[in-house]
Each structure stands twice: as structure tokens, then as C-alpha cells.
Amino acid sequence: MTRILYFGRVAERLGAESSLDLPADGASMGEIRNLLAARDEVAADALLRVDVRACLDQVVVRDDVRARPGQEIAFFSIFSGG
Amino acid sequence: MALDVRLATATLSAPAELKAFLAGRTADGAVVTFTGLARGIDKDGSVVGSLTLDWYPGMTERSMLDIAEAAAARFPVSDLVVVHRCGDIAPGETIVFVAAAAPHRRVAFEAADYLMDRLKTEAAFWKRETGPAGTRWIEPVDDDRAALARWKDETP
């Protein structure tokens, strides 16, 4: 199982983390977002937003970037700043 | 040239930070500091019971360091310190402390100003206020973005 981390408004709705069975050859961040969103309406509403960023190994990435098992995956709302 | 960039999960003492930053400093003529406090009243006039800053361990520190490195590349400062609180913060507590040391004051003022403008908009924190009316997420406002835009024309 691959851990999925949530922050900001996403964490408020879905908790701080979740997990997902990722195929050995990985999946795109967009596919991962859709798989997580398909779980229920709350997940769909929290994740399927243009201002919710996908983040791979602590770098914000586009949804077409591929993630492989073992990489750190996160989704979060835009930063508030300090 | 030293960059001291830290997250503080418990307390942050501006006087203690300043004392350490000043100690043994003989080559610089200027130290400018900024201390940001958590406010008990937000800009709509509502009471704020507490402020919570969520952070992404690793990524948040990296975002602060990136900003400090950019400041150091842009201004000929001798040293910079950036300390930011995370977690629950009560009104009146110090939320951020920034200091810049340089041989002359202008550079120190500008570096501290630049650090704060970028931290306020770009640091990887998620901030919410809790008060009698519930919890409210805070996002950068137009004033913060306008402050940041002042530096854009020269940003490398």
C-alpha cells in the first residue's frame, strides 16, 4: 500500500492520510486523484478541484506526472503562506 | 554567510533569537529584525481564539530555505535567520521572526522586507483561525500579493 498525505482543506475533509494499492508500474497523479475521488462523494468534492495541487516527493507536479510505488504522494489546497 | 532557517513547534522567543544573532557580531553595522505576532482580532473585527498552522514536514522547511536562499542571492547580507512557528498559536505569541545582518542598514532593511513578503505568500503552511463562529481558512490576500509583486521586476 502506498501512503497518500493530505494537507489544508483536503485534510480537513479526508483526514491527514490515506492509502492506495498502486500498480507496480505506477499511475499518473491524475489517475491517482480520480481513484481516490471515486471512493465517495466527500473525497470527490475534496479532491476534484483545480486549486487542489498534486505533489510527488515534496514537489508540486502536474496531473500527467507518473508516480511509482514508494514515492511520497500528497494532495493539498493552496498554501496560506506564513 | 550563514542561513539559519527553522520551524518552531513549541515557543519562539524573539528576544532570545535576537540575542543569539547579535552575539559576537563585529563586522556588521546593521541588524534589522521583524517579529510577527498572532492577532486576537482578525481584520473583520472578529475575535480569534487561536491560530493553527499546518505544515508538511520537509516540504515546509524547504520552502522557507528556498526563500532565504533567494534573499541571500539578491541582497549582500552577512547572515539571515528565519524562524517560523507551526501548530497551535495563541493571540500575542510570536509566529515568525526574521533577522538580516549587513555592513550597512539599507541592505538589511530590504532583505528583511523581502523575506517577509515572500514568506507571507509562498511559505508552505495552511493556516486557520478558530473563534466563536467556528474555523476559517486563511489564504493570501491581495495586499500580500501586491507586496510580493514589488520585488518581481528584479526577481532572478
Mean pLDDT computed over B113-126: 95
Residue B151 within a domain:
no
- ipTM metric: 0.93
Rounded Cα distance between A52 and A37, Å, is 12
Give the three-state DSSP class for A25. Answer: coil
Per-residue pLDDT of chain A (82 residues; tens, 9 = 90+): 899 999 999 999 999 999 999 999 999 999 999 999 999 999 999 999 999 999 999 999 999 999 999 999 999 999 999 9
Residue B125 within a domain:
yes
Give the domain extent around B108: 2-144
Structural domains for chain A: 2-77 (3.10.20.30)
* Per-residue pLDDT reduced to its tens digit, B75-93: 999 999 999 999 999 999 9
With CB atoms and an 8 Å threshold, state whether B126 touches A7: yes
Mean pLDDT computed over B138-156: 78
3-state secondary structure chain B: CEEEEEEECCCCCHHHHHHHHHCCCCCCCEEEEEEEECCCECCCCCECCEEEEEECCCHHHHHHHHHHHHHHHHCCCCEEEEEEECEEECCCCEEEEEEEEECCHHHHHHHHHHHHHHHHHHCCEEEEEEECCEEEEECCCHHHHHHHHCCHHHCC
* Per-residue pLDDT reduced to its tens digit, B16-34: 999 999 999 999 999 999 9
Q: What is the pLDDT of residue B65?
A: 98
Q: Chain A residues contacting B, CB < 8 Å?
A: 5, 7-9, 11-12, 55, 58, 74, 76-82
Contacts of B138 in chain A (CB under 8 A): 80
Q: What CATH number is attached to the domain comprising B73?
A: 3.90.1170.40
Contacts of A5 in chain B (CB under 8 A): 56
Q: Which range is least confidently modeled, B68-82, B88-102, B127-141?
A: B127-141
Into how many domains does chain B fold? Answer: 1
* Per-residue pLDDT reduced to its tens digit, B30-73: 999 999 999 998 877 888 889 999 999 999 999 999 999 999 99
Q: What is the pLDDT of residue A1?
A: 87
**Rounded to 5 degrees, what are φ and ψ at B119?**
-60, -40
Residues 115-154 on B with a CB inside 8 Å of A are 119-128, 137-140, 144
Angle between helix axes B59-74 and B105-122 (nearest 10 degrees) is 150
